[in-house]
Amino acid sequence: MADFLVDQLQDEAERWHNEQLGVESTGINGVVRSERLLGEDVLARLRELSTQLEESTPFKDWHPKSNEQILDVVHPSLYPLVDGVTRVLPEDEAVTFPLDSRDLTKWFTSKQADVFIPPRDVQQDLAPDADMSRQQNRDLFHTFQWLPTDFELDESGTRARALSYINNLHPDPTQPSGQLYDVIENVLAAFVPMFEATLSEAMTGMKGARKEFRDGHRQPFWVEYSWDPPNMEDVCSDSDSDEGYGRYCTDVDAQWRETREWVPIPVLKYQPERIVPITIKGRTLQVIVKMATIHLTPEKPVYEGGSWHVEGTKRENICATGILYLDQDNIIPSSLQFRGVADSEPFGLKRQDDDVDEAAAIEMIYGLVCQEDATQYYGSIPTKAGLALSFPNGVQHRVTAFKLADPTRPGYRKILAFFLCNPLKRVISTSRVSPQRFDWIESSYAGVRDALLTKLPAELVRMILPDASPNGFVPRLKAHPDVDVRPRVRKVHGGTKRRRSRRLYYGEEDDGYRIGFGYDYEPRTGATGPSGDTSPGSGAVVDPDAEEKRVHDELWKSSGMTLDEARAWREELMRERAAQTDHLEDRNMSAFAFCEH
Q: Are residue 134 and residue 62 in the same domain, yes or no?
A: yes
- Min mean pLDDT across 18-22, 554-558, 592-596 is at 592-596
Q: Are residue 129 and residue 54 in the same domain, yes or no?
A: yes
| Predicted pLDDT of residue 19 | 77
Q: Are residue 377 and residue 466 in the same domain, yes or no?
A: no
**Which is more confident, 420 or 546?**
420
| Predicted pLDDT of residue 2 | 82
Q: Are residue 417 and residue 549 in the same domain, yes or no?
A: no
- For β-strands 411-421 and 402-403, DSSP reports them as unpaired
Q: Are residue 349 and residue 474 in the same domain, yes or no?
A: no
Residue 591 lies in a domain: no
Q: Single out the residue in 402, 431, 460 at which a domain terminates.
A: 431
| Predicted pLDDT of residue 230 | 59
Identify the three-state secondary structure at position 86: coil
Residue 296 lies in a domain: yes
Q: Are residue 95 and residue 113 in the same domain, yes or no?
A: yes
Residue 158 lies in a domain: yes
Q: Are 188 and 289 in contact (CB under 8 A)?
A: no
Residue 271 lies in a domain: no
| Rounded mean pLDDT, 332-361 | 70
**Which is more confident, 60 or 359?**
60
Residue 152 lies in a domain: yes
**Which is more confident, 247 or 68?**
68
271 closest CA partner among 344, 197, 208: 208
Q: Are residue 377 and residue 444 in the same domain, yes or no?
A: no
Is 90 exceeded by the pLDDT of residue 268? no
Q: Is the CA virtual torsion 135, 136, 140, 142 positive or negative? A: negative
Half-sphere exposure of 33 (CA within 13 A, CB side): 17
Q: Single out the residue in 431, 458, 473 at which a domain terminates.
A: 431
| Rounded mean pLDDT, 554-573 | 73
- Min mean pLDDT across 332-336, 426-430, 582-586 is at 582-586
Helices (H) and strands (E) in the chain, counts: 14, 22
Q: Are residue 162 and residue 36 in the same domain, yes or no?
A: yes
Q: Of how many residues is the chain composed?
A: 597
Is 90 exceeded by the pLDDT of residue 583? no
- Min mean pLDDT across 112-116, 210-214, 315-319, 573-577 is at 210-214
Of 113-127, 356-370, 558-572, the range with the highest mean pLDDT is 558-572
Q: Beta strands of 342-494 (E only): which ranges?
A: 375-383, 388-392, 396-399, 402-403, 411-421, 489-492
Give the phi and the psi of residue 147 in degrees, each rounded to 5.
-100, 110
| Predicted pLDDT of residue 225 | 53
Instruction: Show Cβ contacts of residue 57 under 8 Å, excluding neighbours closer than 6 positions.
Output: 73
**Which is more confident, 365 or 238?**
365
Q: Are residue 104 and residue 57 in the same domain, yes or no?
A: yes
Q: Are residue 377 and residue 475 in the same domain, yes or no?
A: no
Residue 569 lies in a domain: no
Mean pLDDT (the chain) is 74
| Predicted pLDDT of residue 78 | 92
Identify the three-state secondary structure at position 396: strand
Q: Are residue 197 and residue 168 in the same domain, yes or no?
A: yes
Q: Are 483 and 523 in contact (CB under 8 A)?
A: yes
445 closest CA partner among 422, 415, 425, 465: 465
Question: Residue 130, Cβ neighbours under 10 Å: how many?
Answer: 7
Q: Are 466 and 506 in contact (CB under 8 A)?
A: no
**Which pLDDT tens digit goes with each residue over 192-237?**
999 999 998 877 754 444 444 444 444 444 455 555 655 555 555 5
**Which pLDDT tens digit goes with each residue over 126-176?**
554 555 554 455 555 678 899 999 999 999 989 999 999 999 999 999 999
Residue 13 lies in a domain: yes
Is 50 exceeded by the pLDDT of residue 265? yes
**Which is more confident, 483 or 272?**
272
- Count up the domains in the chain and report the number: 2
pLDDT band at 342 (very low <50, low <70, confident <90, very high): confident
Is 80 exceeded by the pLDDT of residue 362? no
pLDDT band at 521 (very low <50, low <70, confident <90, very high): very low
pLDDT > 70: percent of the chain:
63
Identify the three-state secondary structure at position 63: coil
- Domain holding 416, by residue range, is 2-206+276-431
| Rounded mean pLDDT, 537-563 | 55
**Which pLDDT tens digit goes with each residue over 460-506?**
766 665 555 554 444 443 333 343 433 433 333 333 333 333 222 22
Residue 263 lies in a domain: no
**Which pLDDT tens digit goes with each residue over 280-308?**
999 999 999 999 999 999 999 999 999 88
- The secondary element (H helix, E strand) that includes residue 179 is helix 176-204
Q: Are residue 197 and residue 309 in the same domain, yes or no?
A: yes
Predicted TM-score (pTM) of the model is: 0.75
Most distant CA pair in the chain: distance in Å? 119
343 closest CA partner among 314, 376, 306: 376
Distance, CA of 111 to CA of 103 (rounded, Å):
17
